[in-house]
Each structure stands twice: as structure tokens, then as C-alpha cells.
Structure 1
Amino acid sequence: MMATIIQVDEYGNAYFDATDFNMIDFSLGDALLMRIGEKKFEIPFYSGPYCKMNESTLIRKKDKIFLSIRHGCAVKKYNLHIGQHVTFFLLFSKKYWEKENAYSFEEITDKSTYETNEEFANFRSILPHGGLFYRSSSPVDNTYNRSSSVISCIEKYKVSTIIDMADSQEELDNLINELDDETRSIIRTRRIFAIGDDSGLYSQSFSESVAIAMRLIISAKTPCLIHCRAGKRRSGFTCAIIQALYGMSADKIMEDYMLSYKNNNKITFSDNPKRYEYLKNDTIKAILHHINGTDLCHLRETTEQYLIHLGLSSEEISLLEQKICQ
């Protein structure tokens, strides 16, 4: 079938006339063959940006259908423009269904469905010995309706330092300016560092943010809170390094990471073991393999080598471990 581009946005996504797809039996999770001129490409058809960095996806979200590249620009890569025709064919039915089924969930924003403020805020200590290091959803970005709950936890657990893995300094300043006076005062009385990066967990840019976070932790006044937007990927990556240096096992690190799916999306092993295991393998297990390689039995040593690769010195790593284990 042939679809017409009717809009492009500032992110480089190309939107098609959705009515072009009405008579075609494409299903989410299918593999499609996309033809632009004489060039052909296989792409997945998803309900969200579930692909890896720099991979192309055709996305159907509500009543819109668009071509997107995660952390990239589809318009530039494929030289697209409004009015251009792109042809799609069904290549393999349900080839990508497992990923589509695993990731097609909503963020739960109703606090009344949670037993504790901490669960709704996705707020918890990341180490077995308690409250020196915490992780959570964002205290300043209320996209998921959780910021006030995070603020309450910041006060309750006397957080002194906040490391924001989601926002740039400009973005953080804008978000803080939108807060009410009382909340703004609570945030401003803490040391807060904005080192956010959304270029992908395995990008050079994010690696640089992780290195900055580790150096901040060395001199940080504790308790210290690490957060991103929902408190999953970017904060989870950073916390996994801290947990590995502390001596936690891969199983314990993965178990902690998956609590964020429970707190944000009510996804648990007992309710849906297949989805839980898929998400675990696709997220935190992949993160651990990126940091540590194939050996997940000697995490402390391989994490130290990873940090050396990021540019930290042996002395900095020693100081970091002392801070984490105090």
C-alpha cells in the first residue's frame, strides 16, 4: 500500500495520512517492508518507540501513524518531505509481537491504587544497608503525577543531594520555576545536579553523564537521590553501577530494577511471568552485559574496569567505593 506524508515534526518524525492504512490488514508487531524510491527497508510496526537507538519504526499511536528513529531523524535519514509517497508491504506477520506485547503498557498515575507513598513515587533505598542512596521518579517533572509524592519522600528521608539524570540545567530550571513556592523551596534547599541525557543508554554522551554522576557521588552529602523521569532506565543504569560496586549480585540488581515496573506499571512476575522476564532481559540484564560483558559473577571487578574505560582513575573509584560502602 502507498501512504502519503502529511506532516513532519521538530523531532524528525514523518506522519502519514492514517486513512491510507484503513483498508490494510497490518497488525502491531508485524514486520513491514518499507520502500522509498528504489530503496527497501525492513521495519517493525509498534505502538511506541520500542526499538533500539538509531533504529527505524513505524508507530501507530492513538489516531496517528508516523515513521520514527529512536534518537535520530527519519526525515533526514530518508530524505523525506510533505507530499511524498512511501510504500509499505507486509513482510512477516507478528515477527515483533513479543516486544510489542511486552512494552505496550501505560504509566499508572492514580495514587489511590497504591498502598504507600513510596511505591507511587517509585522511591526506595538501592543498597541493603539502608538510606545513603535512593532512587525515584522525578520530583520536578509531573508527567506521571508523581512529583508531589517524591517531594514528600525527599523530606521524610532527609535527602541532601539530588542527581537528575533526565534534565539539562535549563530544563531543570524551567521545571523548578513551574513549581509552587513551597515545593520550590524544598528543592532549592538541596544540592541538585542536572546531568540529564536522552541520547540512549549506550551512547557516548550518556556514558559521559554516568561518569559525571560517579564523581558527584564521591563528594556528595548523603542521603543522595538519583532519578530520571519515571525512575527506570537512566537512573536504573546509574544505580546498577553503585549496587555492583557495593557487592550486590546480578540477581539482586535485576530484582531491584524490576521494582520500577511494579511501581510504575503494576507489572510483576506473579501476574505475568512471560512479560516480566522479557522486560528484565531486554532492560536491566542488557544493561549489566553492557557494563560487565558476559561475566555477571564478578560484577565489582568488571564494573571497576568499566569506570576506568569511562575515564575515572583508580583513586576516584576507590573513593567512590568507600562512599558507597560507608
Structure 2
Amino acid sequence: MALVTFSCALALFGCVFTACAPSQTTGAQVAASESSSSVESAQPELANCPVARDTTFGGIYLDISIDEFNNLGFSLGDSVNVKFSNGYELQNVPYLDGYNVRAGDPLVIGNPSDTRIEVTLNYVDTLWNTAGVAEGDTATVTLAEKGAFKDLRELLSDRESDERSDYDSDEQFANFRPLKGGALRQGAVYRSSSPINNKHNRAPYVNKLMEQAGITFVLDLSHKADEIEEEIAKNSQQGADLSHIARMQSEGRVDAVGLSVNYLSQPFA
């Protein structure tokens, strides 16, 4: 008998193209010529942007796409200030495309696997509640310091590829391998990418490897029970072969644990 465990990030919101009204504030004056005349340099600002709750991870989505946000003049590696319409404020927050701050620290994230800007407490699922925001509230983002976290981003940036051809084997691409340690029997427990969520094109490979390894039971660490069949159906309709996990689900051999990303929370204790 073999068991497989996996985790995945499930995006519950689709792409949103917004009518958030960007505005610009006046920055420092710069010398224009020897005549000492000056012009005002505009600083990027996103003003009064509607917010929405990330119901999976507890962060706060801004109703603007990553590209639209960057087009306002923000760049990855900048430091920004975020103020919500209820008065809650975060200052000197890194704007990054990876979760490269300490757990619990604030972060403005433009994750390439998502479509929108999100404000979050890294690996903690409580910012929506902590900030006390509600549907109908808005957020304003202003530049604190240009490139303040540029070196941090370059140092820690590590982008994975979603192309099978960039990996040496199906097992490597699917992150499929047996767990080792203590008295654990070889081949008894495996870990892998998700056989259900195909956001990164790995699910069909995981399904094939699970079947080959004789996996008899799956612990789904990230989905809730009511999400599994919906996710399988959606990805199957898009052409992904998830027949093995679909059969296991119908036979009651998939257990939805539904953990959040907050590994400091009580369920992980």
C-alpha cells in the first residue's frame, strides 16, 4: 500500500480588469536647465482601489492586474505604503514577485502565476481580519522608496519552469518522490505536485506516476472536500488527463485536509 501527499495553491479568483482610478502625486523637483527652472516629477500612486478577500489564504486582493499596476510606475523591488479606507496602514512594504520575506511580514505580491496584485502577511492567513477591512473598502498604494528591495529580489529570485522539456524526468517535473526517514518503509509514502490542480501543467504527469507506483490513498493537503470534484472536472474539460485521481475520488480514496499556507497556525501544531 502506498500513500501520496501533496499541496498546491488554488486560485479562486479570475482575471479582473479594473476601473481603479490611478492618480499621480507631485514628487521632488528636478533641475531642468542652467536657468534653474524646475519641473515636478510624478510619483506612482494607485488611489481608492476596491479590495476583495482571498478566501483561500486570507490576504487582500487589489482590483487591478499586475501589468496595470506596473504601468502606473511601480517596479518589482520597490518599497510601497498601503493605506486602506478604514484607516489601517502598512508602511515600507516590499513589492515582490516571490514570497521572499519572513513569515508574518507584510508583502505586496505580483505573483506570475496569478493575475492580480495581493497584499498579504507572508505565510499567514489573517490580514483581512487583522486589517479589519470589509467588502466595499478601498486601498491606496503609494511609492515609499524606489528599488529599496531590488537587491533582495535579485538575491532570492528563483523561478520554476512549467515546461516539461526543462526537466530531466517526469518525476522531477512532477516533484514526485518517496519520503525517507526513520522507520518509514521505502515506497510507502510519496509526495508530489497536485494531481488535481493543473495550474502548472503537472497534474497529468502526477496521475501517471501515481498509477505506476501503485498509490492507494491520497491526502490532499490544500483542497477542501467540496473543491476537489469541481477542480477535477474543470481541468479535465480543459484537456488534462486526470482519470486516475478522478477514479480514486469516486472510490473514496482521497482525503481533503484543506490546510492553509499558515504553517504557524493551530492545524499544523
1:31/1:149 CA distance change after superposition, 3 Å:
same
Amino acid at match of 2:266: Q
Asked if 2 retains the 8 angstrom alpha-carbon contact of 1:14 and 1:80, the reply is: no
1:46 matches 2:96:
yes
CA distance in 2, matches of 1:162, 1:116: 22
Alignment-derived partner of residue 49 in structure 2: 6
1:58-81 residue CA offsets vs partner (Å, 9 max, x unmatched): 334678555444523459716488
- Residue 86 (structure 1) shift: 3.0
Alignment-derived partner of residue 22 in structure 2: none
What SS class does the counterpart of residue 204 from structure 2 fall into? helix
Alignment-derived partner of residue 4 in structure 2: none
Q: 1:139 aligns with which of 195, 212, 224?
A: 195
Q: 1:88 aligns with which of 142, 151, 155?
A: 142
1:182/1:85 CA distance change after superposition, 3 Å:
closer
1:156 matches 2:209:
no
Alignment-derived partner of residue 79 in structure 2: 31
CA distance in 1, matches of 2:89, 2:231: 43
What SS class does the counterpart of residue 53 from structure 2 fall into? coil
Alignment-derived partner of residue 204 in structure 1: 266
1:90/1:125 CA distance change after superposition, 3 Å:
same
Consecutive unaligned residues in structure 2, runs of 5 or more:
1-24, 26-44, 55-59
Asked if 2 retains the 8 angstrom alpha-carbon contact of 1:167 and 1:195, the reply is: yes
Alignment-derived partner of residue 156 in structure 2: 102
What SS class does the counterpart of residue 77 from structure 2 fall into? coil
- Residue 119 (structure 1) shift: 1.6
1:33-61 residue CA offsets vs partner (Å, 9 max, x unmatched): 44566966221111245445554323346
What SS class does the counterpart of residue 150 from structure 1 fall into? helix
1:165 matches 2:215:
no
1:186-238 residue CA offsets vs partner (Å, 9 max, x unmatched): 55457322112114111113x1xxxxxxxxxxxxxxxxxxxxxxxxxxxxxxx
The count of residues paired between Structure 1 and Structure 2 equals 205
Identity within the alignment, %: 21
Alignment-derived partner of residue 126 in structure 2: 72
CA distance in 2, matches of 1:187, 1:83: 40
What SS class does the counterpart of residue 149 from structure 1 fall into? helix
Larger helix proportion, structure 1 or 2? 1
Alignment-derived partner of residue 210 in structure 1: none
Asked if 2 retains the 8 angstrom alpha-carbon contact of 1:121 and 1:137, the reply is: yes
TM-score (norm 1): 0.50
Amino acid at match of 1:13: Y
Amino acid at match of 1:10: R
- RCO higher in 1 or 2 (8 Å CA, sep ≥ 6)? 2
1:115 matches 2:168:
yes
Alignment-derived partner of residue 234 in structure 1: none
CA distance in 1, matches of 2:232, 2:116: 32
CA RMSD in angstroms comes to 3.8
CA distance in 2, matches of 1:170, 1:39: 35
Consecutive unaligned residues in structure 1, runs of 5 or more:
208-309, 311-326
TM-score (norm 2): 0.59
- Residue 136 (structure 1) shift: 0.7
CA distance in 2, matches of 1:176, 1:113: 26
What SS class does the counterpart of residue 161 from structure 1 fall into? strand
Amino acid at match of 1:165: L
Amino acid at match of 2:108: L
Larger strand proportion, structure 1 or 2? 2
1:6-28 residue CA offsets vs partner (Å, 9 max, x unmatched): 3322323234698787575x542
Amino acid at match of 2:195: P
CA distance in 2, matches of 1:101, 1:84: 33
Asked if 2 retains the 8 angstrom alpha-carbon contact of 1:57 and 1:69, the reply is: yes
Amino acid at match of 1:45: Y
CA distance in 2, matches of 1:195, 1:87: 36
